[in-house]
Structure 1
């Protein structure tokens, strides 16, 4: 009974179908495959789709859905599988039978020259896979011994049984004279076509993801060369920070310049380092699912990756860590210098406050002196004025003018002192009230 009464999440069907996306090819020995990977960016999605449609139209094949990330089509003599990834698109051709000349690259002729010339990106990898049949595991060992040095470089060849010895794989991860990577796959007995398709697909993915991961190696080497100068400049600034006579502001400006250069460099390379780590993990995962077993003393694909591929990835990881380390050191140095500047500023502020306290004390003593002189001066003039004003009263009372003036001194001085004190208190109250009103 369908659950039509409840609203469905809009992505429910798409997410369920995602688990079944990118189906594996179905291959029976003898057969062959050829694959190319073309770089792309997020802005060129429509261009790559148009490029695919141009190839399909040439062979009269059906178009994919508008938002499809993968598509398979029968081109007549060959079968095409197209996949779109975040950084590249792959075009893989499958055909029955094998050529008399091993790895002659004839399948690539199905990609027209003008179509290749119009590719909206550069070629990243090109891979040839030859699938043969062997009646038994002993026949596989004999065949690998026969063609191992004929088809591949003897010092780099890797070979192993895979998937419970249902097949064997051979390769050397070296470019041939036409700059293709070669793999040979030997089907043991009646191994199923689906399983053989998965093996071939895994080999193509291993080489493609390996190539994408290795794109970071030149960047890592450039990081090491450029970070040497930054490291030297940073070490010099840190040494100079211990010199009290150095200008802290100049040192801070230099640190900011170093930090800015490191951050810009990190922003330019962070995505590539992250991508390399992701592609490296995919390579190892693809090798692991093959479940290799030793074949006639040859090195395994996993051993090849450990000896040849993993050192390159360690270089990339080391460059990423060194970039992060210099960034952290520059940040710590900036913090230390900022602390030093703050401490120096606090010391200068303390000295300024001490000077202000000294000046305030001097001003207070000067103010008290001025107030005392003001009381004396005002009292002097007040006594004289009152003495003259009240002179008739002194004659009426028969009091000497000198004694009468002397009697006026203390009351006048006291009254003047009270008046000056009141004026000062009012001024202090207004000064205290001013900050509160402004706040």
Structure 2
């Protein structure tokens, strides 16, 4: 008996491990009809979808309804099965109907479920497809392929799983649904389930990838206008002569940069998602392990010819958008440098003028200081004169003589005091 697990477990360990086993393919043991809906669930929560799934159990009279396990749910009711998967942008509903007596020539698995229920599934239909999974004993692929060749219809057909089955589809929407025919030669049940799941994922991911195509066209029109305006601004930049011209140019470049940045913010997710979905399409096609049939394009070639150009357009628009943003930023930086240089030149001129004014003020100050010495000497000598006249009884020297003698003394003291004060102020400013 094994010992109990006592180590401290990370809270996400079980959930991350279960991701390895999430969304397993449904095994197919015999002929069956499969219908698939991919619903864009923007504005609809997982709780709404779960409640709608429980309504189906009530409609079919099931005694119990399986619990939703994360983003995956499976219901079985006799020959009917339903698998629900919730992804980032869409939810997938795969309807199965086992046909022990062989797949009927008309009809679909969806018809076996309540129409009022599946017509009310939350979201908008992005993908709707039917798959007829037929045994080779029911339909020989050779006459069917010969008939398709003779009709001249554009059809993708190939052997998959290293020759264990044939897949035929024109990838066209008729009566709201595209359609696949899978003729089984010797697929094992789980192998058959994986093959059907890959086909449905190819159909889903190619449509999700193409959501970016209209966005790419819109971005292309915007970039055409932006690039033409940038070229015109570059001409104006070469002709700019005044700082005002350069400031106007910089304002226009900033406006264009804001437009491109806004477009990038709005479209970056869509273009990134398109690239990711396209890689998934290529991966699922690779997993089919196709073998070419004479006269028919395999699914890989069909997608390379029809889907790849649209995806390349999207990726090219994304690169072109990034390049436009980089070019505008580079030109804005160049123009800002020119504006900054002009501002520095103007600042230098202002500093020269300020220095000139400071020198003029210093000379005026020195002149005023000289006049101040004269004025202070005059008033000081007058005070001495008043004092001499008031004390003439104490001495025999004339007051005029005393005043004349005091004038150089007062002038020297005032000049010395003024210089000392200026020196202290200079030391204070330097400190």
Same fold (TM over 0.5): yes
> In structure 1, which of residues 179, 182, 192 is the aligned counterpart of residue 179 of structure 2?
182
2:368 is paired with a residue whose SS is: helix
The alpha-carbon deviation at position 67 of structure 1 amounts to: 4.7
Question: Does the 8 Å CA contact 1:394/1:404 hold for their aligned counterparts?
Answer: no
Which sections of structure 1, spanning at least 5 residues, go unmatched? 434-439
Counterpart selection for 2:368 from 370, 388, 396 = 370
Once the two structures are TM-superposed, the CA of residue 51 in structure 1 deviates from its matched residue by 2.1
Could you list the per-position Cα deviations for residues 274-306 of structure 1 after superposition, in whole angstroms to 9, with x for gaps in the alignment? 111111111000001111122224222111111
Q: Is the 8 A contact 2:31 2:103 kept in 1?
A: no
Contact preservation (8 Å) 2:157, 2:167: yes
Distance 1:105 1:230 in 2: 52
Q: Structure 2 vs 1, CA of residues 196 and 336 (structure 1 numbering), >3 Å: closer, same or farther?
A: same
Q: What is the distance in 2 between the residues matched to 1:154 and 1:7?
A: 65
Q: Given the two structures, how large is their TM-score scaled by the length of structure 1?
A: 0.87
| Partner Cα separation in structure 2 for residue 358 and residue 264 of structure 1 | 50
Deviation of 1:371 after TM superposition, in Å, equals: 0.9
Gaps spanning 5+ residues in structure 2: where?
none
Q: Say whether residues 1:30 and 2:31 are aligned partners.
A: yes
Cα distance, 1:316–1:155 mapped onto 2, change above 3 Å: farther
- Residue 110 of structure 2 corresponds to 108
| Residues 100 and 384 of structure 1: CA distance in aligned 2, closer, same or farther (over 3 Å) | closer
Q: Which residue of 1 is the match for residue 234 of structure 2?
A: 238
- The residue that corresponds to 2:304 in the other structure is 306
Cα deviation for residue 373 of structure 1 reads: 1.7
Q: 1:63 to 1:340 in 2, by over 3 A?
A: farther
- Supply the RMSD in Å over aligned alpha carbons: 2.7
Query: Where in structure 2 are the equivalents of 1:415-426 lying within 5 Å?
Result: 415-426=413-424
Q: 1:166 to 1:113 in 2, by over 3 A?
A: closer
SS across alignment from 1:14:
helix
Query: Does structure 2 retain, via aligned residues, the 8 Å contact 1:144–1:170?
Result: no
Once the two structures are overlaid, the 10-residue window that deviates more, 343-352 or 204-213, is: 343-352
Flag the 1:294–1:66 CA change in 2: closer, same or farther, 3 A: closer
- Give the TM-score of the pair, scaled to structure 2: 0.88
Aligned to 1:148: 148
CA drift of 1:431 comes to 5.4
2:134 counterpart SS class? strand
Q: Secondary structure at the match of 2:123?
A: coil
1:413, CA displacement in angstroms?
1.8
Query: Do the aligned partners of residues 113 and 43 (structure 1) sit closer, same or farther apart at CA in structure 2, a change above 3 Å counting?
Result: closer
The Cα offsets for residues 178-235 of structure 1, whole Å up to 9 and x where unpaired, read as: 13212122222x3312212211111111001111111111111111112222233333
Aligned residues: 423
Q: Does 1:72 align with 2:74?
A: yes
Change (3 A) 1:428 1:35: same
- Is the deviation greater in 7-16 or in 119-128? 7-16
Contact 2:32 2:103 survives alignment (8 Å): no
